[in-house]
Structures are given as structure tokens and as C-alpha cells.
Structure 1
Amino acid sequence: MNKRKWLLFLVIAGLAVLLWWLNKQHLQLAPKDVKNWVLQFGLLAPFVFLFLSLVRPFVLVPLTVFSLAAGLAFGSVLGTIYALVGATAGALGSFLLATTFRSKKKETESSSRKLRAVTSRIQEHGFLYILLLRIAPIHFDFVSYAAAASRANYRAFTAATFLGLIPGTVALNVLGSSFVSGNYAALAIVCLIYLIFISVPLVLKRKRPDLF
């Protein structure tokens, strides 16, 4: 890695650490906080939300905070659209950044056992495995970095991320919007559908142990 890349990496890492510390010590962002802050921008609120979603992976704020905030701020339909686009953009951003600073030597010598196991499956099964990881309740940003370490195709990564996010994002947005509308019947139905979706990886684990 040349000096320019190292300098850029250090600047980004420093900003990420600073923002993470500010969030940890002073902000402690909750979905309601994100909603209230974003809506202050009026017509620009969706664009502000999308920008925050893009930088979210670098400040270690959980994805669920933003998914719930989207439902609270924009309702179940628009909130789902904004949350899906924002989460996919954030995942692609972290994937591309990790790809840029990837070091093959470090990957082989110092990667954790879990990371090596996941990257080997991604290399073998590609789109399908990333899709299953996105549907399953697995650490969102870890999957992005594992996909980058496995040298996955960015188009397959983006498509699998977007499709795999749909069930959980819909459920979280309906959950957020239900606090505003009080439509708990819709919430129960969506949560049931989501439970069916996340059971798919568990069923495949028994039927196709080679995937896991």
C-alpha cells in the first residue's frame, strides 16, 4: 500500500474513531433522536437520512437504529425505501473502502478464524451465501468486510445485500411506523413473515451443511 493510501486510511480511521467516541460518550443515538434531527431539514430530510446512512458503517452505529428511525420519520413505505437504499449504499461504501485497503498478506496471516471461514464460503458460493448472510441476523458490517476480504464481485455483493435486506428492513420500518400509527395488526403480520424469512438459513444449514 502506497503512502497516499495509508494517509487516506489514517484520516478516515481517525474521523471514524472520533465520531464513534462522540456517539458513545455524548450522543448515544436512538431511533427517535435520528428521526427528530433528520426531520428538522424539511424537504431535504430524505437526503440527509441517506447521507447519514452512507457514513453509518464508519461510526459503528447499529443498522437497526437507522431502520427504525426511517419508519418513525417517513412511514412504513417511504421509510422502507430510504432505509433499503441507505443501508445498501453504506454497505457498498464500506465494501469498496475495505477492498481499496485490503492486504493479501495480512488477510492470510492475521485474519480471525471466523473471518476466514466466512470468506472461504463467500468465495465458493458468492451471491447465494451473501444473500443468506444478509437475511440471517448476523452482524451487518462484518459481512461487508468479509465480502471485501473474499474479493467478491461488487455487483453480486450489492444485489445480494439489497435483496437480503428487504425482509428485515420492512419489519423494522413497520415496527417504527406502528409506534406512530398504532397499527399493531400489520406489525404482527410483518414480524411473522420476517420470522419465516430468517428461518430459511437455519433450514438450509440442515439441508446444505456445505454452505455453513
Structure 2
Amino acid sequence: MNNNHLMRIALFVGLVAAITLAVIYRDRFDGAALEAWVHDAGPVAPLLFMLAYALAAVLFLPGSVLTLAGGALFGPVLGTVYNLAGATLGATLAFLIARYLASDWVAEKAGGRVKQLINGVEGEGWRFVAFVRLVPLFPFNLLNYALGLTRLRLSHYILATAVFMLPAAVAFTYLGYAGREAVAGGEGMIQKGLMALALLAVVAFLPRLIASLRSGPMIDTETFKQMRDTRKDLLVLDVRTAGDFVGEQGHIEGAVNIPVEELEQRMDELGDYLERPVAIVCRTDKRSAKAELLLAEEGFADVHVVRGGMTKWIDAGLPVV
């Protein structure tokens, strides 16, 4: 066993021990204790705050406590700067730790669906990082480690993390600031509260916006037929009811039927197609458009609505079952 291997084992054991202790004593990690600690730090308080934020990200401590505290302690502008810097530093440290500990092993051992997912992430590069930062599909702390197991370029990861975490950082930092002002009875409490709510509404709307940008364009029947004939990895997803699927119009051979009303509950059945093309059909295309949005919000990267659905397919004289 070489020294590098021993160092990895030691780092892994130390990391697990530190995370375990952090989880056990996480009840002591609250805003009041953090505020007292920062005030005692004097002029180096901002630096210590950013380091504490980074350490919290590495040890799976809740970043929301720190983000709100940053707004309360440093105000909306400097608080955003310190929060974003600390979160980016912590995300980078976790990414590098995971890459050092296990990326080679994962690259060697991964196969099947796991390998496919990794290849999809690496293929999208910074765009995938941007998407998951704006649309938090996975917990922030866990995602940092998971992305370190891929071959994403470090510079792309850091830049996309910093840029695309900014909207949420601004919103939640301002929320912490507004909360502190409300408690202290500062002026303009109503305006500041409304501003905080407006920023949170923008952040809440971002997943839908990004999902619509990430999804593929609507395609006509001819294009759909060409894709079906040439793309063997294409999933044809029919989102009509089970009765319609075997009813008057019939269905396209090989199509998978999941009614749009059941799609959220049955999303795990489509896990193999996260990074593969999906064409959605219904009677026309209204139900398909709803299904497209649901899939895009779950991270499906290549989703298309077939314009006119089964009606246009049948009008074109194409075969059905």
C-alpha cells in the first residue's frame, strides 16, 4: 500500500469523523451563537465568517442558517458577497476532496446507468452546473461531492457555481437582513419585507424558467418520424390515459404509456433517459407540453413535444398499434 493510498484513507476517515461530530452537535449551530462569535472576532470577522461557511458546506451543516446570518450581520450587499464567497469556497473544497478521494475509482468501476449519468453530466459541463445551482434538484452539500466524482473542469465548476448561485444568495441574504431590521424595529420594515418576498418569488420562479430553456424545441410529425427511425435510444412517451392509449387512436409501436397525471409519481421509471432523447405525444400536444415541463424540471436534458400528437401522426397515414 503506497503513501498516496494511505493519505486517501486517512483523509476519508478524518472527513467521516468530522461530519459525524458536526451532525451530532448541529443543534449548537444557530444564528445566535454565530452572531456572538462573529462580534468577538473584530475586524477579521468577515474572513472568519467565510471560512466558517466553507467548513459548513464540507461538513454538511445547513447553509441556510449562515446565509440568513450573513444578511443580518453584514447587510444585504456585503452579506451577499461574504455568503457567496463562503459557499463557493466550500463547494470547491468538497468538489476537490471527492475528486482526490474517489474520482479515479468511480471512473474505473462505474458502468451502466451510473456511467451514463456521469457521461451526460460531463457532456453538458458548466451548463449542468448552472442548471442544478438554479434548480436545486439535490441537496447543495451532497451535490458538491457528487460533481467531484466527474471529470468536469474545475474552472468551469467554480465559475458556474459562483455565478448561478447569485440569485438565491441575494434573495436569502436580503431576507436575513430584513428579518434583523424587523426585530430591531428599523425604518421601512414593510418595504424591506415586500422586497424580500419579491426576491424569493423570483428565485421560486427560476426553476420553471430554466426548465423551459433547457427543454428541447417542439417538433413536427416528419421530424419525429426521422428521429424515431434513426435514434435507437429515443423514448416515445405517450402521456394520454391508459384508455386512450388502447382506444380509438391506438398508439405508436414501442411507446411507453405514463399518463401526465401520474408522471411525477412514476418519474423513477424514466431514470435511464435523463440524458437521452425523449419525444412526448398525446392526442394533440397540450398534455405533452405539461409533461415536458415536469421532465425538464427533473433534469431531463433532451425533451421534445410532438406537435399535433397522435392526431397529426394518424393524419399523415403513419402506422399505429
- State the TM-score, normalized to the length of structure 1: 0.85
Structure 1 residues 117 and 34, CA gap change in structure 2 (3 angstroms): farther
Determine the structure 2 residue equivalent to 1:154. Answer: 154
Determine the structure 2 residue equivalent to 1:5. Answer: 4
Determine the structure 2 residue equivalent to 1:64. Answer: 64
Determine the structure 1 residue equivalent to 2:131. Answer: 132
- Unaligned runs of at least 5 residues, structure 1: none
Q: Which moved more, 1:118-127 or 1:26-35?
A: 26-35
Q: Which moved more, 1:78-87 or 1:138-147?
A: 138-147
Q: Which moved more, 1:69-78 or 1:202-211?
A: 202-211
Determine the structure 2 residue equivalent to 1:43. Answer: 43
- Unaligned runs of at least 5 residues, structure 2: 183-191, 216-291, 304-321
Determine the structure 2 residue equivalent to 1:168. Answer: 168
Q: Determine helix, strand or coil for the equivalent of 1:172.
A: helix
Structure 2 distance, partners of 1:118, 1:5, is 28
Q: Does 1:186 align with 2:228?
A: no
Structure 1 residues 20 and 99, CA gap change in structure 2 (3 angstroms): closer
User: Does structure 1 retain, via aligned residues, the 8 Å contact 2:71–2:173?
Assistant: yes
Q: Does 1:199 align with 2:208?
A: yes
User: Does structure 1 retain, via aligned residues, the 8 Å contact 2:91–2:144?
Assistant: yes
Structure 2 distance, partners of 1:195, 1:32, is 28
Determine the structure 2 residue equivalent to 1:78. Answer: 78
User: Does structure 2 retain, via aligned residues, the 8 Å contact 1:54–1:90?
Assistant: yes
Determine the structure 2 residue equivalent to 1:119. Answer: 118
Q: Determine helix, strand or coil for the equivalent of 1:87.
A: helix
| Rg larger for | 2
Give the aligned residue type for 2:55. Answer: V
Structure 1 residues 6 and 73, CA gap change in structure 2 (3 angstroms): farther
Q: Which moved more, 1:95-104 or 1:175-184?
A: 95-104
Larger fraction in helix: 1
User: Does structure 1 retain, via aligned residues, the 8 Å contact 2:58–2:93?
Assistant: no
Q: Which moved more, 1:70-79 or 1:158-167?
A: 70-79
- The sequence identity of aligned pairs, in percent, is 22
Structure 1 distance, partners of 2:111, 2:60, is 20
Structure 2 distance, partners of 1:95, 1:39, is 31
Q: Determine helix, strand or coil for the equivalent of 1:152.
A: coil
